[in-house]
Amino acid sequence: MASRIRSVVIAAVLVGGARSAAAQGAPSSLRLSFAEAVLRAGGAAPPVELAGLRNLEAEARVREARSPLLPDLAGTVSWQNRTFNKNSLGFAFNFPGAPPDLIGPFNLYDARLSVTQTLFDYSSWQAVKAAREALRSSQADSGAAAEGAVVNTAGAYLRALRAQASVAARQEDSSIAAQLLDLALAQQKAGVVAAIDVTRARTQFVVAEQGQIQARTAFDQARIDLSRSLGLGPETTIDLADTLTAALPVLALPLQRDSIVAFALTGRPDLAAEQARGDAARRQSSAISAELAPRIALAADGGGNGPTVGSMIFTREVGIQLVWPILDGFRREARKDESNAQVSQSDVRVRELRLQVAADVDAALLQLRSAEAQVEIAGERLRLAQDELDQAQERYKAGVAGNLDVITAQQSLVRARDVDIDARFVAAAARVALARAAGVARLLH
């Protein structure tokens, strides 16, 4: 009976999986350990890729800011056919033989090269420095993005491990329920137990099979989430190379709380990124102030000029230009106030982040200590629940008790398995939280 029910359930699962595979095409498979998933997330997850593109954008802005300091070369070729009123030039001649008021039409050909070179521009130098600070801020944001991607993937991997452990637990539950059902059927056939014992055993078996299907669905969903955290398509099936243990993940950190906090204050990517944004805002404010400094540039052009191409003669122009900004409608002052406000905001965020670092470390250490204690208790509870079930089965086989005690012990074992899995998951998640608090999640393995 148990074998027949199990066959029906397994067939339903296989048919559903086959239909899904047919709809999506043959899925690819990728075997990953926790360390490999973390390494992959830190280098190729979508947030990391986007951060790298933002770095390229910031590098381009540095080159753009440097361009006013470099030579500006342009070539022009023109042809004009024009007329003009000589009186508009101040030549109002009325004597006999004087040229008419309307002169032309005539052609004018011109071809020349123009070059401009900045000799002194303090404002542009400061703008380049501000752009470089912005680049440094973008690079710091890349570190924070990589750290966040690793934490996200680490959490997804651990959730997948928990789901995988739940599948194994439900398979064990189903196996025990099948044994109890077969035993109840044998006892009924021997006339030792009533039909109610068989009904109870059959109910527990169906519940166990239902739990197995639910656990498998949750595991498949967890693997899809893990694939997406790595930027892979949901059709990619990830095989987990690790199992959920209380020792996973591994991370070497100082043992003392103050040492971890000090380490985090110097290494947290989000704190470094915020400090870099503040430095960039300060440099931008200095660049705005530097716009009041004079600018000196050399301009020259030379080329041919004449009424026909054959009669063109060389003409040139050379000059030095001094520009001293004085007033621009107070836009410069408004921009400087805006930049100073950004500096003040960054200072507040840095101060709050430094306090948050200590709070994150304290919370992670508290969670880790609690989780480690729960792992020990959950392991002991699981051993006791297994002993209880073994003893209840022996009493049932001996005919000194009904299967109600067995079913109660079986349910207790199911709960103990779930508590043990959750305890191991919480311990692993606490290590990830501590790594994030210290700013070294990318070193998890």
Q: What is the pLDDT of residues 365-412, one digit of tens each?
A: 999 899 889 989 999 998 998 898 888 888 877 777 677 888 888 888
Cβ neighbors of 292 (< 8 A, separation 6 or more) are 123, 325, 332
Range 415-435 average pLDDT: 90
What value does the CA radius of gyration of the chain take, rounded to a whole number of Å? 39
Q: What is the pLDDT of residues 288-331, one digit of tens each?
A: 888 888 999 999 999 888 888 888 898 889 999 888 888 878 88
9 pLDDT more than 70? no
Q: What is the pLDDT of residues 143-169, one digit of tens each?
A: 888 888 888 988 999 999 999 999 998
307: DSSP letter: S
* Region at 365 (left for phi over 0; alpha for psi -120 to 50; beta for the rest): alpha
Report d(CA 161, CA 432) in Å as an integer.
Answer: 14
How many other β-carbons are positioned within 10 Å of the β-carbon of residue 20? 12
User: Structure pTM?
Assistant: 0.78
- The helix/strand/coil state of 295 is strand
Q: Tokens 């103050």 belong to which residue?
A: 258
Q: Return the higher-pLDDT residue of 236 and 62.
A: 62
Range 226-245 average pLDDT: 85
Cβ 34 vs Cβ 156: under 8 Å: no
Q: What is the DSSP string of 344-357?
A: HHHHHHHHHHHHHH
Residue 301 β-bridge partners: 114, 317
Task: Calculate helix-pair angle for 122-189, 403-438, nearest 10 degrees.
Answer: 170
> Domains in the chain, ordered, with CATH?
2-16+34-81+101-443 (1.20.1600.10)
Task: Of 131, 130, 124, give the one whose Cα is nearest residue 69.
Answer: 124
Output helix, strand, coil percentages for the chain, rounded to the nearest 5: 70, 15, 15
Cβ neighbors of 355 (< 8 A, separation 6 or more) are none
The single-letter code of the amino acid at 216 is R
**Environment class of 26 (CB within 10 Å of its CB; exposed 0-12, middle 13-18, buried 19+):** exposed
Report d(CA 177, CA 303) in Å as an integer.
Answer: 98
Q: Please give the structure tokens belonging to residue 360.
A: 């994150």
CA torsion 169→175→176→177, rounded to 10°?
A: 110
Q: Looking at 7-11, 56-60, 209-213, 249-253, which range is the least confident one?
A: 7-11
Q: What is the pLDDT of residues 338-362, one digit of tens each?
A: 888 988 998 999 999 899 889 999 9
The single-letter code of the amino acid at 45 is A
Residue 136 has what pLDDT? 87
